Amino acid sequence: MALNKKPWIKDAAFRRCLSVVLITLLGVVLLLFLLQTNTISDLVNQYTNETDDNFELTHRYSQFRRNVTLPKQTDLSILLEKRNQLPPRNLDLFPKLAKNHVTIVLYVHNRPQYLQVVVESLSRVDGIGETLLIVSHDGFFEEMNKIVEDCKDKDDPVKKHCKGSPDQYGNHRSPKIVSLKHHWWWMMNAVWDGLEETCHHSGHILFIEEDHYIFPNAYRNLQILTALKAKKCPRCYAANLAPSDVKSRGEGWESLIAERMGNVGYAFNRTVWRKIHTKAREFCFFDDYNWDITMWATVYPSFGHPVYTLRGPRTSAVHFGKCGLHQGQGERVSCIDKGAVNIKVEEIDKAGNINKKWGVHAYENQAGYQAGFRGWGGWGDTRDRELCLAFANMYYFRGGTSPS
């Protein structure tokens, strides 16, 4: 499947690059499988066995490996690490990125029908050829998870001879579930501090998921919002393409909206990332497997004041997923109605529709997860917390120093 307009795409032809992080924590081998996809032109191609013998490992993760004690990498691990360092595709078509572009990061699981929908929507976005698109892909593989002898549900580690520490509700970790929070945190650290193409990027980066349908005006509206944010809403940390209420299409007012930060199409800059990164311990030790609830309930409140985002009065992105986690992975069990998504895009949503002269309407004391919420659990295992902190440190091990 070819895009109408192709942005820079970090990695090569949707060959799936598996970045295997194998870390020994507390004497137990914990495996996290994170896939960073290459392009989106082919949704079904599998990883190929090309050797790339002449490609040197230069990524800063290699520096991390040299400064901490990790198991020896396998040939496959080395090969795939090299692949994650390949230059972006389409450099011949777009040798230079537009000045002050907003990088787009699409993070996906293993739901190809979802990915096809979001890619097709991106192909219609005005300005998509001006920016860099990064696809970060994680997957859950039962046969690999069996390598780790984890306790399940409310197993007694002594009686079951298994490994693990339970959450606040007495339940042991579920690898399929904890991978969600791990992927998001690993991705944030890799994009902001690891990838050569983005590690010096100081502007905004937009984060979207595989079940976010992006309207044609999304990029143009986002450019306006990020430009207006500092002046129109000094207390806004981010810009959003959609309301925090995922069922809402917006108010339709002639006004900008400041509200609690949503999880559909959100963008922030390096200054905000640095602030988030300093809260790595709060993020990694909060007993909830959801990254967004973790942010709402513990990270944002730790900033000491409300965290707002700026958006337009009409949505520029829609959440279309009908089930969560890693469900809907195959065609027969897809969570898309009849294998398709029917989202009405009105004419007004096909071009930028934000007026720079509008004022800002702020929502105060919105409902939702707040400080004091205990969390839904699922994140009580010491190994998950330690691995989470390791991700926060993996690009900072220079001269023996780290931020956490």
DSSP string, 76-109: HHHHHHHHTTSPPBTTTT-SSPPTT--EEEEEE-
53 is in an annotated binding site: no
In 3-state terms, what secondary structure has residue 361? strand
Tokens 């549900």 correspond to 153
319 is in an annotated binding site: yes
Cβ neighbours of 74 (radius 10 Å):
11
Look up residue 398 and give its amino acid. R
Cβ neighbours of 42 (radius 10 Å):
13
Q: Which residues on neighbouring strands pair with residue 308, listed in sequence order? A: 236, 260
Cα distance between residue 225 and residue 242, in whole Å: 12
Cα distance between residue 394 and residue 386, in whole Å: 12
Burial 379-400 (b: 16+ CB within 10 A, else e): bbbbbbbbbbbbbbbbbbbeee
In 3-state terms, what secondary structure has residue 189? helix
Burial 316-343 (b: 16+ CB within 10 A, else e): bbbbbbeeeebebbeeeebbbeeeebee
Q: Which residues on neighbouring strands pair with residue 35, listed in sequence order? A: 18, 137
Output the 3-class SS for 261-318: CCCCCEEECHHHHHHHHCCHHHHHHCCECCHHHHHHHHHHHHHCCCCEEEECCCCCEE
Q: Which residues on neighbouring strands pair with residue 163, listed in sequence order? A: 150
Cα distance between residue 134 and residue 89, in whole Å: 10
Using the 8-state DSSP alphabet, how is residue 4 labeled? S
Cβ neighbours of 276 (radius 10 Å):
21
Tokens 């009686």 correspond to 159
> Which phi-psi region, left, alpha or beta, contains residue 328 (left: φ > 0; alpha: ψ -120 to 50)?
left
Q: Which residues are annotated as part of the binding site for Mn(2+)? A: 211, 319
Q: Which residues are annotated as part of the binding site? A: 138, 211, 319
Q: Which residues are annotated as part of the binding site for substrate? A: 138
